[in-house]
Amino acid sequence: MELYQKNIAILLENNYEEMEFWYPYYRLKEAGAEITVVAPQATEFRSKNGYPAKADLTADAADPGNFHGVIVPGGYAPDRMRLFPAMINFLKEAYNHGSLVAAICHGPWMLISAGAVKGRQVTGVPTIKDDLENAGARFVNQEVVRDGTVVTSRIPSDLPAFCREIIAGLQEN
């Protein structure tokens, strides 16, 4: 498989965007990756539409060095994730370790909190353009952007390009 022996964390909180969580979850699993869902608590969370997903591991118990990549889905979950220092620290340590970090929609809010966008070209849902620029990023409005180990995307219809770029980045890393 394409991603055999690659460990990927997908971050989770309430009000996540279903497609932005489940599409990468199954696409990367299909490619052979081991997926671990990381959240503030090891419990069940609900999407914006009430669809459940369960966390495997808490952020404070997860070792960022064990993951080749971390994905931050959008919806309003990233805004909630930023309330938990362990979530930010997990992402920040993974980024500093050289792991691929990917975020879609409002997910780049977590990249901002983790210090992963300054000086980088990124995208995201257009409503967070100012936030990204104020954090020192160069915002572009395109379906996917990869700048080093940071992959960003805008909306659910960009998911095919987002996942292709994540897979390409993981294969190189």
Name the residues annotated as catalytic.
105-106
Show the CA angle centred on residue 93, arms to residues 68 and 79, nearest 5°: 100
Give the whole-angstrom CA distance, residue 48 versus residue 31: 27
**Of 125, 83, 115, 94, which Cα lies nearest the Cα of 9?**
94
Report which residue type is found at 109: W
